[in-house]
Structure 1
Amino acid sequence: MQTAQQLTNMPMTQLTAPAFIDFEASSLDLIASYPIEVGLCLPNGELHSWLIRPHVLWHDWSDSAQAIHGISRDTLVEEGLSVSQVAHHLNELLHGEVFCDAWTFDSFWLHRLYRAANMRPSFQLESVSMLLSPAQVQHWSATRHKVIDDLGLPVHRAANDARILHTTWCQVTAGTPDEQRPSLGKL
């Protein structure tokens, strides 16, 4: 498996977008919260998302978080997949490094999902910041806001947020000179 640093030094001809992942959660409590939805955007732009039925030991719930993502606990119980089904889907689709924009939270929820499923992920979660040069980091926020406006997608739904990450990465790296652009080979 290649690291993001090794990928940064690859020739431009091998440039492909990475896979991006995003989670929505029961709250932002890093002790009690758990993932309720996961979405991913594959390198080709293909989107996947799953609602996650709460594991029997997961009880945390925040009404303020629900007001943001719009997913009720009842919806999760009725429509969500089991933790093992979701973990299997992720392992089928993801390998190598997968990137997120809130590593502290996303890695916690990823770990909580896989621990409840008694499985290990087939991929390594990394921060999108590993892919960016200092100049790209400076442009990230403004580009992301423009992407959100251009796409017109509601935020705080996992697949939408993963697509926003993908599109933002594509736009931020598109304007970078070849010698400074992070390149990703086959992950």
Structure 2
Amino acid sequence: MITVPIVIDFEASGFGKGSYPIEVGFSRRHGEGWCSLIRPESDWDHWDVHAACVHRIPRELLVARGKSPSQVTEQLNLQLTGQTVYTDGWAQDYIWMARLYDAADRVPSFRLADLREIISPQQEGLWHATKNQVQEDLNISRHRASNDARILQMTWLRTYDAARCLN
């Protein structure tokens, strides 16, 4: 029996130095999603127009409807305590998660791990075509963190099943 991984994704204000998390979402083992916009801290002022075009979340929406880093980290810790949570962008997501938790003066109660740790070479060979098919099947029009996490989770599951059939 396999254990379906919990997958997390962060959307950010841009890439590189000065960027910060604007949204976080995850998909639990049975596909239940959770997502939250993150209200920027007063010193989080980096804003990349190109990144904003991808996620289509205006900064004004984050300020008006985003939750504080304390509220977001409290929910993440409550829901993910003791779990290993996977991401496909470990290096960047780790930085954004650290920035979020630093702002809240908290530490994560879960472990963030690279999804590549649990992808076999057989899965890797099937990954891109399967991910494209999952995106088509789910027909998700909004680029959001929880949607991206679900796509990655479903891609992992389908490639896992397909790789087992190849052996």
TM-score (norm 2): 0.95
Contact 1:24 1:156 in 2 (8 A): no
How far 1:137 moved relative to its partner?
A: 1.1
Residue 50 of structure 1 aligns to a residue whose secondary structure is strand
Instruction: Measure, in 1, the Cα distance between the counterparts of 2:117 and 2:95.
Output: 18
Structure 2 counterpart of 1:52: 38
138, 152, 155: which is aligned to 1:151? 138
Gaps of 5+ in 2: none
The answer as to whether partners of 2:123 and 2:156 remain within 8 angstroms in 1 is no
CA 1:20–1:109: 2 relative to 1, 3 Å? same
Instruction: Name the structure 2 match of 1:42.
Output: 28
Q: RCO greater where, 1 or 2, for CA within 8 Å and sep 6 or more? A: 1
Which one of the candidate residues 107, 129, 144 is aligned to 2:94? 107
Which of 14, 19, 26 pairs up with 2:13? 26
- Residue range with higher mean Cα deviation, 152-161 or 73-82: 152-161
Counterpart code for 2:93:
D
CA distance in 1, matches of 2:149, 2:37: 15
- 1:166 corresponds, among 153, 156, 159, to 153
Runs (4+) of structure 1 exceeding 3 A deviation are none
Provide the aligned C-alpha RMSD in A.
Answer: 1.5
Aligned-partner Cα distance in 1 for 2:114–2:133: 21
**Does the alignment pair 1:64 with 2:50?**
yes
Shift in Å, 1:167: 0.8
Amino acid at match of 1:156: H
Identity of aligned residues (%): 43
- Number of residue pairs matched by the alignment: 166
Query: Cα offset for 1:174?
Result: 1.1
